[in-house]
Amino acid sequence: MAKTITTRELAEKIVNQEETLILDVRNTEQFEDWKIEGGKAEIINEPYFNLLDGVESLDEKLDKNQEVIVVCAKGGSSVMVADLLDEAGYQNAYSLEGGMKAWSEHLEPVKIADLSDGGSLYQFVRLGKGCLSYVIESDGEAAIVDANRMTDIYEKFAKERGTAITHLLDTHLHADHISGGRKLAEIAGGTYHLPPKDAEEVTFDYAPLKEGNDITVGKTKIKVQPIYSPGHTIGSTSLIIDDKYLLTGDILFVKSIGRPDLAGLADDWVKDLRETLYSRYKELSYNLTVLPAHYSFAEELHENGEVSARLGDLYERNSGLQVDDTEEFKKMVTENLPPQPNAYENIRKTNLGKISPDTEEQKEMETGPNRCAVEG
């Protein structure tokens, strides 16, 4: 019987920068579209059907004494390959439980900082999809920003820390993943906040997330300050936390900038995107720490697993912030784009409350990487 490893155990290896060898047995097309990355992970692709008659072809690529983690789409084929490796003398072959589908759902909490008056800020890293969400806690209350649909993880975290979830905020209407904000608000009895310009078609009640409507978390009054920052969507709204941290949503990333086309309005929103990045953000303190809603490249992860950067440093090194010519900028953000996220139209409809797919349908809709950034 093949030995197995959980997504949490694998995530800890990657975040802790452990040498990790992964054998991905999905077909090459699936592998090239989306794979496990980060830390010191080395990944080899050998499609499952090439190994049905034996694993001898791997002997030149693998050491029989080293740990090998076998990965497939859902955890079935990887068990069979791990068994074949074990029979062939590989002593430390493991199958990743649940495969890439389970990997896509894992959230790894990373503490970003202690806030004033005893508060704290956590970043939840969705390693399998590049999504980043945040928990701001203070004096027994918590606000969660850009929550993923796996709401039980946030519930468990809050319960363990003895905090009540009072505010759920989405920086914009997401198109690459299903938001857990509204569901969490219903479960916890909290308030769901959404930018009103992104919410014109919603089918539910919400509190407008807009500039001037500051939110406080706990009696110690950790301030969440919305800053209107359109461009990725017409309603995109950034958040300044405790006067030190800038949650940029999908407007600004560590190595790229947000794409303006996921509602089919790229030409209309390019001007907004440029105004936000080249004017609005420049009025803010360059000492703010940028915390985005996504990352696209494994090298964006720091050694402790977090994704962050100083705003001033990004103005020096982020290629999306270095384009002086307006027309050249427009060309970059409308022509230099990756494929649309998987099922993005139905994801938008789900987040608007227009459709209600079941859990398995939601998982299938989210399969694949995030594609919210302009390719650099």
Active site residue 131: no
Tally the residues of the chain.
Answer: 376
Please give the Cα distance from 219 to 284 (Å, whole number): 26
Catalytic residue among 72, 81, 143, 307: 72
292: left (phi over 0), alpha (psi -120 to 50) or beta: beta
Please give the Cα distance from 72 to 345 (Å, whole number): 27
Asked if 236 and 252 touch (Cβ cutoff 8 Å), the reply is no
Contacts of 317 (CB under 8 A, 6+ apart): none
Number of Cβ within a 10 Å radius of residue 356: 10
Contacts of 64 (CB under 8 A, 6+ apart): 88, 89, 90, 91
Residues with a catalytic annotation lie at 72
